Structure 1
Amino acid sequence: MPPNKLTEAERQHVLAVLRSPEFCDLAPAQIWARLLDNGTYLCSISTMYRLLRIAGQNRERRRQRTHPARKKPELIATAPNAVWSWDITKLKARRVASTTSCS
């Protein structure tokens, strides 16, 4: 066993720090740097990644926004001549004409 290998208690302490509310959204490299700024050295960055991988927590740690599902626009006619979609047809015709012209 290497002399600098972390004990089980030390591994659990590092994981507790990585999971803490203060650091749960940061990458191990950022956590390592912030801890060093505060004068604390727990382990190397690679050890942090290894411990997270062993614990099955080596995922994207940042909070990411989720976007609502896009809804297809729908044309609904409630009366005769209530919906006119001829503008869409004109646009398509112009695109086809511009791609097929040889001038």
Structure 2
Amino acid sequence: MLHEDRFVDLPPAEVYATLLDEGTYLCSIRTMYRVLAANKEVRERRDLLRHPVYAKPELLATKPNQVWSWDITKLKGPEKWSYFYLYVIIDIFSRCVVGWMLADRESATQAKKLIAETCRRHGITPGALTLHADRGAAMTAKATGHLLADLGITKTHSRPYQSNDNPYSESHFKTLKYRPEFPDRFGSIVSGSPPPPVDEARSAAS
């Protein structure tokens, strides 16, 4: 009955009510649901976006150069709304910074250069390294993925909106930015020094 043309797109409650109006009682609404469920025909009928289930990454390193973690953080530039971007790769076994770069933008092209150079400098062989990152644009870009595949590096990513899936890089950046000598702003990408006070800048300009 539920497969009839007039009922195939209706919920069991409407089918039940229609049949009662016609003087027919077959079973309860709950039984109709059980029959549909037994045949795997109970599901959400609306066209909803279904998110895949992501497993929590498990990173384990027993020696150096087994697992690296990398991320990008913003550093305030000399003016409001100006930023520099600090790329950092750390070895999760030793927490040692194995590679870093300061750039004026965040991009997969910049990330590729840093990863390739860091792997070359540390003599990473294909199949030896796992590189973990969050799901930022530079991390999930095709260019970055192709480079890792060419180098024989296994890549892993954090779950969406789960910053604690990349605790090594997040902890590193927090330690860096909470140091007493860390400046509020940086004067230039070349010197890395903080900008001069306003009064000094005005006197220099005059």
Using structure 2 for the length normalisation, give the TM-score: 0.22
Using structure 1 for the length normalisation, give the TM-score: 0.42
